Structure 1
Amino acid sequence: MWGTVLASALLLTGSAPAVADTGWSPSPIVWTACPEDPDSPPPDGECGTVRVPLDWNRPGGPSISLAVARHRATDSAHRLGVLLADLGGPGSASTEFALTPGFFSPEVQARFDVVGFDVRGTGRSEFIECENTARPPGNEPADRAEFDALRQYSEQQVAGCRARNLPVFDHADTAANAQDMDAIRRALGEPRISFLGISYGTLLGQQYAEQHGDRVRAMVLDSSIDHSAGIERFLGDRATASDELFRQFAAWCDRTTTCALHGQDVFAVWRKALTVADGLPKEHNWLRDWVFQDMYGPHWDDAAQVIADTAAGRPPMTAQFQYNYASIRLAVVCQDFDLRIRNFAQYSALHAEELRRGPLMRGSMLAHGETMACLGVQGPPANPPHRLNIPRAPQLLLLNARYDPATPYSWALAIHHQAPANTTLLTYEGSGHGVYPRTACTRAAVDRYLLTRETPQHDVSCPAATDTRASTVPGAPAA
């Protein structure tokens, strides 16, 4: 199986670039009250900023300010240190995540200062926001002319977004964020840190473990991004995962009387609903996007209702996405992965493979959207893909759902295989994106590891939860 998982990886350089000692040191953080949201209760924590070099290759050059938040350990006498947490996205504000009540268990909050920082381009750290003034063409071009029009539009969008968000736009990849994370560790005065990253936050954790593995106390990577994936796997693995999730949804409808499609041919109704959505004046099929987002929870009851309503000719409003994901992905995802498509012939071959691997969901809305958004990016990626290489890191705990639409289970297996001596895999035998707070089993395994640094002796699994309605992570990150 491992040969199949890894054979199609395109860029496997074997190691991350070494990180030189910059000779630069941050100032200690001055903690103050956090900004209040008038629509939310006052945050239970404190906030500050850390200044870091804009370009870590020029530590004496311009600097930028990063927002940091901290929830202090409630049992300071038995404090174990700092737990940095990152929600991913990209686009999520991890300062808010660190102060979210109830995500971490009371035992973890008692023993750790939970700290989050807004990575470059997010939240209160040099927020990246593009200005979209033109109606975008569809991102599934049917011929060379449509492909050329899409490329021209993408080039204009990328150039405009870059100009609007300089200088941080050119220095927002995850390798730079990992350097920032070590600056925050030093500003906190901590010799080592623990870390929990979800979704795209797992790439931040992986790159930190590569750069500063000897500074890691414990690290949880929940729903992992595989940085070794070339464009074929980036698209194809997620297309397969999306269809696997849809089959799980259909099986749920078959056995659940409250499903709006119970007793019907779910696949036939889905095809009918897709046809209805195809006929609406939108740039792409919003129904597929809506159902894909419901897979994160998973929110099967909502997916069933929107499919039923659309098939019956009553389509609801289109889904809305959170944060500045559509903007920041141009500066982050397009620099962390090599998603450059040369011409229409290459696109046609890639898209045909997407449809072959994911005919039900017509590929992955997430992977396809990211790849086509990167169409107008020039030059090679600043943070090129490579195999995970963490010889100085301690044992890390990987978590992944068996059925995950955004970070396929095959990616967790690939990462585990790339670093077998440093990783243990916990498989959640259910559906959705984000594992830690799903069940008593998943929470207990993570808490035990964070508190004791002891991973299971062998890879383990936790059974699926029965509730398919509750979201697992605040903010529902994009990836």
Structure 2
Amino acid sequence: MLGMQRIFGSALLTAALVCATPLPVAPAAPNVAAAQANWGSCLPIVDGAEQAPGAQCAMLTVPIDYDAPGAGVARIAVVRVPATGQRLGALLVNPGGPGASAVDTVVAMGSALAGSPINTHFDLVGFDPRGVGYSQPLLRCLTDAEFDAWRREPMADYSPAGVARIEALNKQYADRCAAKTGTAVLAHVGTREAARDMDEVRKMLGDEQINYLGFSYGTRIGTEYVNRFGPRVRAMVLDGAIDPSAGPLDAILHQMAGFQSAFDDFAADCARSADCPLGTDPSQANARYRQLVDPLVTRPARTADPRGLSYADAITGTFNALYSPQLWRYLTRGLTGLARGTDPGDLLTLADEYQGRDRSGHYTNAQDAFNAIRCVDAPWPTDPAVWAGLDAEVREAAPFAAYGSHTGRAPRDICSFWPVPPTSSPAPATAAEPGQVVVVSTTGDPATPYQAGVSLARQLGGSLVTFQGTQHTAVFNGNECLDTTVLAFLIDGKTPPSGLRCG
């Protein structure tokens, strides 16, 4: 999973406005019909809506297939937190995933950024892409019980029989998606549709132009939108960028190398303590990690939770913690539990958070949406030899995550068995208007590596801001240099100086 923005808010944003002369108010579109907007309270609909008392919610009806409007409709959940001062327009936000709820994100932002320049000058707006979050129909592939069972599978045996079993499970997953959601819906849930839906949201808001802040996969939506609807963008910030020209296997390889780099940073930080479960020699951290987690393939560890810690959950929990140093202490505690034979439950909690499972055992549909969207956003190879070759490269790029040794074979991904064809293919972005886009890329971003942002900024002809750190995305996380720069761009249209580095 590409991951998503987790934290909003900083002292900077709650301070006085840093930019003296805002740009003129964005004019309303004279021929836009906003009649579909039946705004009401979010309280009956959105969990935690009380955090942002001013939040308003609505459902927007769009065609499932824009080329065949009579083939059915989807209903897009939209939330807005109105500007409290001189309104410059709407700031649409997408937190990534794919599969994360922008509605939930904007509700949280509305609370965290109350009184800030952002909330003063912009309506904060989020819409859940079709199939995601509160939108309908909802993408579903597995029941809660089926998802729990899926997570108990180690999927680590790359013998001929093991690969056959993993591929059978992957095909079963794809078949269940088709059965539960329907191929007519699955064929129209990609980024291509999300960009068109976003323009319908713009019309609903009654604005000629939008502002946009996209994190992680949200940068893919933003890139698609500015390439398709360029004149309708006032200002766009893309943080944690995806390179649209990269194929899916290249993206996997680069991402795994990014997670290895983040793991190395974690191991070096951990090694400063004599109690580090990976030891005090960072050069041995990969081997020590494997010693701790490999036994879980055949025997899960006992936890206070009766499910125990499976091998798959230990790996997932580790990846989740590597998104941000703020989560490293939980990874340390979980690995310490494995090392000492005590409860490694922190790793299970990390895995639950990543997979969208709450304490009652219910899952969001984030993972099902993640798979459904990525599988139609690019062609995926079906040749087993291609996957075997990728496995060899990934093991070299990310040895901390490599179980056993390369066997010359590897299972094909779920997307290799997907029941509908892709609707997009990798292609470079076309240049946006000068001063229209700012790309923020983090040097140690594990999920969307730094060079992807460099590449996207070059393709779009946008400004590149480099953030120095080990985390996934950085805007509005409290760095004064970065947040001041983004505020100046969004409010005043001031482009960052060339070569700016923050962090």
TM-score interval, normalised by the smaller of the two chains: 0.7 to 0.9
- 2:125 counterpart letter in structure 1: V
Shift of 1:354: 0.5
Maintained 8 Å contact 1:216/1:393: no
Partner of 2:189: 172
Deviation at 1:28, TM superposition (A): 3.4
How many angstroms apart in 1 are the aligned matches of 2:498 and 2:70? Answer: 46
Q: Does 1:314 align with 2:342?
A: yes
Q: Does the 8 Å CA contact 2:216/2:242 hold for their aligned counterparts?
A: yes
Matches of 1:139 and 1:203, distance apart in 2:
29
Letter in 1 for 2:498: H
1:382 matched to 2:423:
yes
Letter in 1 for 2:165: A
**Cα separation, partners in 2 of 1:152 and 1:386, compared to 1, 3 Å:** same
3-state SS, counterpart of residue 99 of structure 1: helix
One-letter code of the match for 2:133?
Answer: G
Higher mean alpha-carbon deviation, 191-200 vs 308-317, is at 308-317
CA displacement at 1:47 relative to structure 2 = 0.7
Q: Distance in 2 between matches of 1:253 and 1:68?
A: 42
Amino acid at match of 1:237: H
Structure-2 residue corresponding to 1:469: none
Cα distance change of structure 1 residues 62 and 378 upon mapping to structure 2, 3 Å threshold: closer
Instruction: Note the C-alpha offset of 1:232.
Output: 3.1
- TM-superposed CA distance for 1:360, in Å, is 2.1
After superposition, residues 49-88 of structure 1 pair within 5 angstroms as: 49-75=59-85, 78-88=86-96
CA distance in 2, matches of 1:437, 1:262: 35
Q: CA deviation at 1:398?
A: 0.9
Q: Which amino acid aligns with 1:64?
A: A
Q: Which stretch of structure 1 is more off in the superposition, 135-144 or 445-454?
A: 135-144
Counterpart residue identity of residue 301, structure 1: R
- Residue in structure 1 matched with residue 480 of structure 2 by the alignment: 440
Deviations 1:339-374 (A, max 9, x none): 33322x2221110111011112339xxxxx997232
Letter in 2 for 1:440: E
CA distance in 2, matches of 1:85, 1:428: 20
Deviation for aligned residue 1:74: 0.9
Asked if residue 274 in structure 1 is aligned to residue 293 in structure 2, the reply is: yes
- Offset, 1:138: 4.5
Using structure 2 for the length normalisation, give the TM-score.
0.79
Change (3 A) 1:82 1:96: same
Alignment partner, residue 176 of structure 2: 160
Post-superposition CA distance 1:127-157 (Å, at most 9, x none): 2121254955544451333333333332222
- Which residue pairs with 2:332 in the alignment? 304
2:383 equivalent to 1:372: no
Map of 1:128 onto structure 2: 139
Distance 1:239 1:342, change over 3 A: same
On the 8 A contact 1:93/1:122 being kept in 2, the answer is yes
Is 1:35 matched with 2:75? no
Secondary structure at the residue paired with 1:219?
Answer: strand
Tell me how many residue pairs correspond in the alignment. 431
> Where does structure 2 lack aligned partners over 5 or more consecutive residues?
1-30, 301-308, 357-363, 404-409
**Distance verdict in 2 for CA 1:253–1:395, change over 3 Å:** same
1:173 partner amino acid: G
- Greater mean alpha carbon deviation, residues 303-312 or residues 243-252: 303-312
Distance 1:230 1:462, change over 3 A: same
Q: Which range is displaced more, 168-177 or 108-117?
A: 168-177
CA contact (8 A) 2:235 2:493 kept: yes
Verify the 8 A CA contact 1:401 1:429 in the aligned structure 2: yes
Moved more, 144-153 or 294-303: 144-153
Q: 1:295 aligns with which of 308, 318, 322?
A: 322
Matched letter for residue 333 of structure 1: R
Aligned-partner Cα distance in 2 for 1:94–1:115: 8
1:454 is matched with which residue? 494
Of stretches 385-394 and 168-177 in structure 1, the one that deviates more from structure 2 is 385-394
Q: Would you say the 8 A contact 1:87–1:197 is kept in 2?
A: yes
1:214 aligns with 2:231: yes
Instruction: Find the partner of 1:118 among 102, 122, 128.
Output: 128
Equivalent-residue separation in structure 2 for 1:219 and 1:269 (angstroms): 44
Task: Output aligned runs, 1:226-305, within 5 Å.
Answer: 226-255=243-272, 263=280, 267=285, 268-281=287-300, 284-298=311-325, 299-305=327-333
- Tell me, yes or no, if structure 1 residue 92 matches structure 2 residue 100: yes
Letter in 2 for 1:293: N
- What is the CA-CA distance between 1:161 and the residue it aligns to? 1.2
1:424 and 2:463 aligned = yes
Q: Which segment is superposed worse, 248-257 or 191-200? A: 248-257
In 2, Cα distance between the equivalents of 1:145 and 1:462? 50
| Aligned match of 1:8 | none
The CA deviation at 1:392 is 4.8
Cα RMSD over matched residues? 2.8
Deviation at 1:170, TM superposition (A): 2.1
- Which whole-Å CA distance do the structure 1 matches of 2:333 and 2:247 have between them? 36
The 3 A distance-change label for structure 1 pair 394 and 274 is: same
Q: Secondary structure at the match of 2:497?
A: coil
> Does the C-alpha gap of structure 1 residues 179 and 85 become closer, same or farther in structure 2, counting only changes over 3 Å?
same
Separation of aligned partners in 2, 1:451 and 1:372 = 43
The alpha-carbon deviation at position 273 of structure 1 amounts to 1.4
Sequence identity, in percent? 28
Q: Indicate how the Cα distance of structure 1 residues 261 and 61 shifts in structure 2: closer, same or farther if over 3 A, else same.
A: closer
Q: What amino acid is the match of 1:62?
A: G
Report if aligned partners of 2:164, 2:411 keep a CA contact under 8 Å in 1.
no
Q: Which amino acid aligns with 1:437?
A: F
Is contact 2:95–2:105 with CA below 8 Å preserved after alignment? yes
Letter in 2 for 1:460: L
Distance in 2 (CA, whole Å) between partners of 1:400 and 1:129 is: 32
Deviation at 1:66, TM superposition (A): 0.8
* Separation (CA, whole Å) in 2 of partners of 1:385 and 1:25: 34
1:332 aligned to which of 367, 373, 382: 373
- Provide the C-alpha distance between the structure 1 equivalents of 2:56 and 2:467, rounded to a whole number of angstroms: 34
With over 3 angstroms needed to count, the CA separation of the structure-2 counterparts of 1:79 and 1:219, relative to structure 1, is: same
What displacement does 1:379 show? 5.6
Unaligned runs of 5+ residues in structure 1 are 1-22, 364-368, 464-479
Range that drifts further, 235-244 or 40-49: 40-49
C-alpha contact (below 8 Å) 1:174/1:336 kept by paired residues? yes
Instruction: Tell me if structure 2 keeps the 8 A contact 1:25–1:183.
Output: no
Shift in alpha-carbon separation, 1:42–1:426, aligned structure 2, 3 A: closer
Call closer, same or farther: CA 1:461–1:262 in 2, change over 3 Å: farther
Alignment partners' CA distance in 2, 1:250 and 1:277: 21
Alpha-carbon separation, structure 2, partners of 1:430 and 1:371? 33
Per the TM alignment, residue 178 of structure 1 is displaced from its structure 2 partner at its CA by 0.4
